[in-house]
Structure 1
Amino acid sequence: MVTIRDVGKHAGVSVATVSRYLNDKGYVSEETKNVLKKSIQELGYKPNQMARSLSTKKTNIIGLLVPDITNPFFPELAKAVEETAFSNGYTVVLCNSSEQQEKEKHYIQSLQQNYAAGLIVTTNYTEAEYYRHIKLPIVALDRRLDPTIPTVTTNNVEGAKMATNYLLEQGCKHILCIRGPQGIGVAEDRMKGFLEVVNNAQDIQVETITSPFEFTEAEQKAFNILSAFPTIDGVFAASDASAIGAMKAAQSLGRKIPDDIQIVGFDGISLGALVTPELTTVAQDIYHLGKVATELLLKKIKEEPIDNHLIELPTELVIRRSTK
Structure 2
Amino acid sequence: MSRKKVTIRDIARESGVSIATVSRYINKVSYTSPETEKKIQKVLDRFDYTPNAIARGLAKQKSHTIAFITPDITNPFFPELVKSIENEARKMNYSLLLINTNEQDLHTIDFWNNFKSRYIDGFILAESELNHDIRGYLNEINIPFVGIDRAVFSEKYHSVTVNNLEGALMAANHLVEIGCKKIAHISGPQTLYPAIERMNGYKKVMEHVNSTAIIYEGKFTLESGAEQTEKLLQDHPDIDGVFYANDLMAIGSLKAFKKHHIDIPNDVAILGFDGIQLTEIVYPEISTIKQPVDKIGEIATNHLIALIENHDQPIKETVLLDVELVKRKSTNKH
**Count of residue pairs brought into register by the alignment:** 323
SS state at 1:130 partner: helix
Specify which of 7, 15, 19 is matched with residue 15 of structure 1: 19
Contact 1:128 1:145 (8 Å CA) reproduced: no
CA distance in 1, matches of 2:265, 2:112: 44
SS for the counterpart of 1:85 is helix
Mark the runs of 5 or more structure 2 residues left unpaired by the alignment.
Answer: none
2:128 is equivalent to residue 121 of structure 1? no
Map of 2:76 onto structure 1: 72
Cα distance in 2 for residues equivalent to 1:236 and 1:36:
64
Counterpart code for 1:321: K
Partner in structure 1 of residue 157 of structure 2: 149
What is the Cα deviation at residue 225 of structure 1?
1.7
Residue identity matched to 2:176: L
In the TM superposition, 1:63-212 aligns within 5 A as 63-102=67-106, 106-134=110-138, 135=141, 136-142=143-149, 143-145=151-153, 147=155, 149-202=157-210, 204-212=211-219
Q: Distance in 1 between matches of 2:286 and 2:44?
A: 54
Q: Give the SS at the match of 1:322.
A: helix
How far is the alpha carbon of 1:205 from its aligned partner? 4.3
CA distance in 1, matches of 2:252, 2:223: 6
State the Cα distance separating 1:114 from its structure 2 match.
Answer: 1.9
Deviates more, 1:237-246 or 1:55-64: 55-64
Q: Please, which runs of 5 or more residues in structure 1 have no aligned partner?
A: none
Percent of residue pairs identical: 37
**Residue identity in the other structure for 1:314:** D
Aligned to 2:261, what secondary structure does the other structure show?
Answer: coil
What is the TM-score when the length of structure 1 is the normalising length?
0.92
Contact 1:218 1:246 in 2 (8 A): yes
Deviations 1:201-246 (A, max 9, x none): 13x3442111111101211221232233221111100101111111
Q: TM-score, normalised by structure 2?
A: 0.90
Q: Quick one: distance in 1 between partners of 2:70 and 2:109?
A: 12
Asked if the contact 1:61–1:92 (Cα under 8 Å) also holds between the matched residues in 2, the reply is: yes
Q: Distance in 2 between matches of 1:267 and 1:146?
A: 20
On the 8 A contact 1:264/1:280 being kept in 2, the answer is yes
How far apart are 1:272 and its partner, in Å? Answer: 1.2
- Give the stretch that moved more between structures: 293-302 or 34-43: 34-43
1:254 & 1:105 partners in 2: Cα distance? Answer: 50
How big is the shift at 1:279?
A: 1.1
Q: CA deviation at 1:84?
A: 1.2
Amino acid paired to 1:153: T
Q: Secondary structure at the match of 2:67?
A: strand
